[in-house]
Structure 1
Amino acid sequence: MRKKTLCILLVLVLTMGLTATFSFADAIGNGDASTYSTSAVSIGTKRFSDTKAGASVEVTFTGVADDYVIAIVLQKKTSSGWVTATDVSGSAHYYRGSNKQVVLTYDEWTVKKGVVYRIKCVSTDMYDSGIEYKRTTYSDPF
């Protein structure tokens, strides 16, 4: 009985492992596993006062991106959800470049008192092979 239970458990573990492996390969695109993508996005925010806020963003790619675009968007919380804070000057900043593995940004805004904000970061990294990756990350509200 014990051997039978152990065999069944082993079969289940191996089956689950293979399923996860094949799912990962298909999720990358056309079943081609690639080592390139946005590996990490780190967002730090600070509300200096009721009307002044800043954010630093670090985007790390798993390899040197041939080209990249990083959009840093200030969003505000409304009764219907999160929207771009178009009433704040410079609510969206775009950073474009090439041949980098790590990109650091820093932005400041004059914000409205009593309004809750967050940062939305959309990073897109492109490679000569024609592969493009996009990742969206949000900061905690501030």
Structure 2
Amino acid sequence: METSEGAFSWKPENCDTPKVAECFTKVAETKFAIKVEEFFNLFLSDNAVNFVKSFHRRCGDKEFKCSSWCPHDKFGHVRDVSFQHPIKIYFGAKFDSCQEAQKFGIYRNSHLVIETSQGISDVPYGDYFRVEVQARPELP
């Protein structure tokens, strides 16, 4: 990951990319004319936190917090993100607390797998579901 000097070390694991679970449904696909490593550096690395914070601010979120990526025994690297998201209904709280666990793994041929799991806690029945996302940027 990033060293204390801020240099990034891109180290793919010597194993195949895990299969996509059958419960996932593809909802979007797009092309970026950049390498996977550059995509990670621009949008997900510790150095990209200001970009991520700006994205959340444009969504109306506040109190954005993001930990640094840390190595994980079972899945590459992990970090935690939290923020307050505006609720667009006329009763109850004006903002909801969102917690997001993010993970990424780099596999053979620089295949990047990003997973997020997001939960909310301040709306009725918010604890009954989570939003699970898996992104797999591939070489152009």
| Fold shared by both chains (TM-score > 0.5) | no
Q: Which has the higher strand share?
A: 1
**Higher RCO, 1 or 2 (CA under 8 Å, sep at least 6)?**
1
Q: What TM-score results when the alignment is normalised by the length of structure 2?
A: 0.32
Q: What TM-score results when the alignment is normalised by the length of structure 1?
A: 0.31
In our comparison, the structure showing a higher alpha carbon Rg is: 1
